[in-house]
């Protein structure tokens, strides 16, 4: 992903995924999830990132993810600035592709421990 492409894009601050209903917009956008603490091993390094999503309703997508991954171990943020003409699907693909180039695999949720 070129720097020029990302200069007009800005994500907001991180917030607990469980609080997504209070923060995420009910509009199209991109969200990112990462571990609240710690790093995951990827083939070419370590990262806290576990997921990128392009959604027509960021709040609904974040709430669904919060329901599927309870426990407070994930934080979330969403796009707050992007040029109107930006294709969100293409931007999402660029984020994932850049992660794969850097870390050798797409971001992945950690395996949940059995209860």
- pLDDT attached to residue 18: 94
Distance CA 40, CA 58 (A): 25
Residue 91 has pLDDT above 50, yes or no: yes
Q: Which SS3 state, helix, strand or coil, does residue 100 take?
A: helix
- pLDDT attached to residue 7: 54
| Tens digits of residue pLDDT in 5-62 | 455 788 999 999 999 999 999 999 999 999 999 999 999 999 999 999 999 999 999 9
């Amino acid at each position: 992903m070129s720097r020029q492409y990302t200069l007009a894009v800005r994500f907001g601050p991180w917030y607990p995924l469980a609080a997504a209903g209070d923060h995420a917009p009910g509009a199209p956008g991109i969200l990112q999830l990462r571990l609240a603490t710690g790093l995951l091993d990827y083939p070419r390094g370590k990262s806290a990132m576990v997921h990128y999503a392009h959604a027509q309703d960021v709040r609904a997508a974040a709430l669904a993810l919060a329901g599927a991954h309870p426990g407070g171990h994930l934080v979330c943020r969403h796009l707050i600035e992007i040029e109107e003409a930006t294709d969100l699907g293409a931007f999402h693909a660029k984020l994932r592709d850049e992660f794969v180039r850097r870390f050798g695999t797409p971001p992945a949720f950690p395996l949940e421990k059995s209860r």
